[in-house]
Amino acid sequence: MQPADIPSAPNFKRPTGIFNRFDTRELVFRALVTLAAFTVAAILMLMLFELTRTAWPAISKFGISFLWSTDWNPPKERFGALPFIAGTIVTSLLALVLGTVIGVGAALFLVEFAPPWVRVPVSYVVELLAAIPSVVYGLWGVFVLGPWIQHTAGPYILDYFSWVPFVKGPVLSVGILAAVVILTIMILPTIVAISRDVIAAVPRSQREGILALGATRWEMIRIAVLPYARSGVLGAAILGLARAIGETLAVALVIGNSTNVPDSIFSPAYTMAAVIANQFREVENPMHEASLIYVGLVLLLITLLVNAIARALVWRVTRGQITTVIE
Amino acid sequence: MKQRTWRAGKLAALAGLAAVSLTALVACGGGSSSSDKTPATTAPTSAAKATTPAGGATAASTGAIASNVGKDDKAQLTGAGATFPNPLYTRWFADYKSGVAPGVEVNYQSIGSGGGVKQITEKTVDFGASDAPMSDSEMAKAPGIQHIPTTLGAVVITYNVEGVSAPLKLDGDTIAKIYLGTIKKWNDAAIAGQNAGVTLPSSDIVVVHRSDGSGTSYVFTDYLSKVSTDWNAGPGTSKNPQWPVGLGGQGNDGVTQQVKQNKNSIGYVELIYADSNKLPMAQVKNQSGEYVTPSTDTTSLAASGVALPDDYRVSIVDAPAKGAYPIASFTYILLYRNQTDAAKAKALVDLLWWAIHDGQRTNATLDYAPLPAAVVKAIEKTLTTDITSGGQPVLKGS
C-alpha cells in the first residue's frame, strides 16, 4: 500500500539516484521477495501434484464418480466420498449461516450501540475465543455440549420443530447439530473481529448524512452501513467458511463418524477432514490409502473453489470500488 | 489425547506392581547367573517352569536354553507397530535391559499395526508388531516374514442399558444381528430369550463402533464373520469395516464415552481397557455353549485348543476349548526368518526367547493374557530352527 498522498498513476516514475534499479542491494532484495512469492505458489503446486500422484490409483479406478458414490467399504476396496463431502458441506454451510447472523449482529452491537466500557472487554473476549485450541472445543463438545443437546435442546427442538424437514429423532450425544454448534463457535471470532473492523471503517459522514434525513438507527445500519461494509463482511464470512471446512479434530469428536447417509440434524455423519484423521493411520490396503488421499485432494480443491468464489463475490459486490481488502 | 492421559495414568498406577515384578526378575536373574557358566546343563528358570508345565520335555528337545540366554548381547533394536501391546512391550524391554541383558536397548514406537507391517516390509525396523496377522497380499510383499505371538487380546462387549445390572448374556448371532441393524430393540426375543429374569427396555439399540482403523475392530469383525453368514457376506473381517448402523468413537475411550452418554447403547472395547475402567461386560456364548465372562484366563484358554500353523497366522475366535472366551486373538511380533545382521539377530531372538518364558510373568501383572504352554512350546521350536543368520540357526540348543 502506498501512502495516499503519493500519486499512483500508471505513468508514475521511480526517482532515479536514490532508488537505483540496478543497485546491488535493490537487486538482491528483489530476488529475495520474488523467491518468496514463488515459493508460496510452488508449495501449493507441489501439494496438488503430490496429492494427485499418490491418489492416482484411486483416481484412475473410480474417476469422477468417486464424488457421488456413497459406498465406503475399505475391505472390499469400494470407495466413494459423497457421505464425507455432503457432511462437510452441510455442517460448514449451517455453521456459516449461524455464525454470520450472530457474528454480524455482535459486530453491529459493538460498533453502533455498545458504550466503550462494554466494547473493549467484549472485543477482547471474542478475540480470545480464537486462541482456544480446537481439541479443547472438541472435548467441551463431547463432555458438555453433546449431553446438553441430547437431554435438553434436542427434546425441546423435537417437541416444537418436528414438522421441519430433517428434524427427527432419535437424539444422540453426537451428530450433525453438535458439529454445527461447535463450528459456529469456532468461526465466530473471525467473523466478529473482521466485521467489526469493516463496520467501524464506514465513514462517519455516511451515518450522519442518513441520520440527518430522519432515519432510525436500524434504517441507518440497513441503508448506510451494511451496503458500505458488505464486501468486508462477505470476506469475513468466507474466511469463517474456510475454517469450518478444514476443521478436523473438534468435528471428528462430535459428529458421530458414520458413513451412512444422514436423514436428520441429529444423525451421526462424517466430514472429509474427519475421515482422513480417523482412518489414515491404520489403512486397510493401498487402495484405501489412495482413496483417503483422493478425499484430501477433493478437500483442497473445494477450499480453493470457495476462495475463488469469495474473490468473485467480493469483486462483484464492490464492482471495482476501493474496498477493504481481506487477505 | 485422552487415551494418552489414560495410558499415563494406568502406567503410573501399575508402577507399584511393576516394581514388585522387577524385584522378582532381578532375583531370578541372580539365581540363574550362578550357574550360567554352563548353560548347556542349566535347567529352564523357575519362571519358564511356571508358564510352561512341559518345561522338562522342552528342555530335552531344545537343548535346555536358559531364559536369560541373551545376557551378554549388545545391540540396539528398533521396532514399531501395534498400540495394544505397547504397555506390555515397554515393560518387557525395560525389565530385560535392567534385569537380564544390560547391553540390549530396544526402541519401540507404537505407531499402529498398519505402520508396523509397513515398516518391517520396508525393513526400516528390526521387528514389527501387529494385532492382526498380515494378509496374503501383505505377506507377498515381505517374503520370509515370521509371526511370533507374544500375548493375547480379547474384545469385550460393553453396554449401557436402563435397569440392567446383572451381566447380559449374548451369543454371536445376536451380536452380529445387532451390529447389522436387524435386531433394533433391546427387548427383541433373541436378546430376551438368553436373559431370562432381566427386564429389558423396549428402546432402540444405539450401536457404537470404532471410527479409527483398529485391530480391535479386526478381531471383533473376525468373530462376527465366523458366527454369522450374513456378516461374513456383508461387512466381513476388517480393521475398517463398512458399518451398516451406528456411530463411531475414536479409540477405546471414544467408544466408551459414547456408550456411557447414550442410554441403551452397546459397544466393544479391549479387555484390558474394560477391566481398568470397570465397564459392564457381557458374557458371550462360546462354541461349547457356555456363557463366558471375559478375563485373561478365559482368553488364554481360547488359544489352548487351536491347531497352530507354522506361521501362527490363525484366527482363534469362537475357539473350541471349554471355558474359552470366544472373541480373542494373538498379537504378534514380526521378524524376518533370514536375518542379515548376526549380532542384532541374536539379540532379538534371545529377547524373544526371554519374552515367551520369563516375560510372560509380566503379562499377568499388566492384565495381558499369558500364552498357553502349548503355544510357548511351538514358538520355542520356531525360534531355535526357523530364524537363521548366514544359513545357521541364530539360537542354538547346545
Contact (CB<8Å) A170/B249: no
- Chain A: give the shortest CA distance to residue B164, in Å: 20
State pLDDT tens for residues A137-185.
999 999 999 999 999 999 999 999 988 888 888 899 899 999 999 999 9
Which is more confident, A11 or A73? Answer: A73
Residues from chain A that touch B243, judged by Cβ atoms under 8 A, are: 258-260
A47 occurs within a structural domain: no
Beta bridge partners of A23: none
Cell of B38: 554352563
Which of A72, A282, A288, A291 best probes binding to B when mutated, by most B CB atoms within 10 angstroms?
A: A282
For residue A170, the tally of other CB atoms under 10 A from its CB is 17
**What does the DSSP assignment read for B321-376?**
STT--SSEEEEEEEEESEES-HHHHHHHHHHHHHHHTTHHHHHHHTTPBPPPHHHH
Q: What is the CATH classification number for the domain harbouring A88?
A: 1.10.3720.10
Domain total in chain A? 1
Contact (CB<8Å) B212/A74: no
pLDDT confidence bin for B348, thresholds 50/70/90: very high
Nearest CA in chain A to B221: A75
pLDDT confidence bin for B2, thresholds 50/70/90: very low
Which of B110, B221, B242 best probes binding to A when mutated, by most A CB atoms within 10 angstroms?
A: B242
Q: Averaged over A46-50, what is the pLDDT?
A: 94
- Chain B: give the shortest CA distance to residue A270, in Å: 10
Residue pair B203/B263 in contact by the 8 Å Cβ criterion = yes
Q: How far apart are CA B113 and CA B134, in angstroms?
A: 10
A124 occurs within a structural domain: yes
Contact (CB<8Å) B249/A279: no
A14 occurs within a structural domain: no
Could you check whether the bond before residue A286 is cis, i.e. omega within 30 degrees of 0?
Answer: no
A29 occurs within a structural domain: no
ipTM of the complex: 0.82
pLDDT greater than 80 at residue B380: yes
A10 occurs within a structural domain: no
Q: Averaged over A230-251, what is the pLDDT?
A: 90
Domain boundaries, position A270: 59-326
Contact (CB<8Å) B241/A74: yes
Contact (CB<8Å) A282/B246: no
**Residue-level pLDDT at A24:** 83
Q: How far apart are CA A262 and CA B105, in angstroms?
A: 51
**Residue-level pLDDT at B260:** 92
State pLDDT tens for residues B167-225.
999 999 999 999 999 999 999 999 999 999 899 999 999 999 999 989 899 999 999 99
φ, ψ for residue B204, nearest 5 deg: -65, 145
- Chain A: give the shortest CA distance to residue B235, in Å: 8
Residues 6+ apart with CB under 8 A from A147: A173, B261
Q: What is the rounded (10 degree) CA torsion for B115, B152, B384, B59? A: 160
Residue type, B161: V
A40 occurs within a structural domain: no
Is A57 part of the contact surface with chain B (CB cutoff 8 Å)?
A: no
A151 occurs within a structural domain: yes
A140 occurs within a structural domain: yes
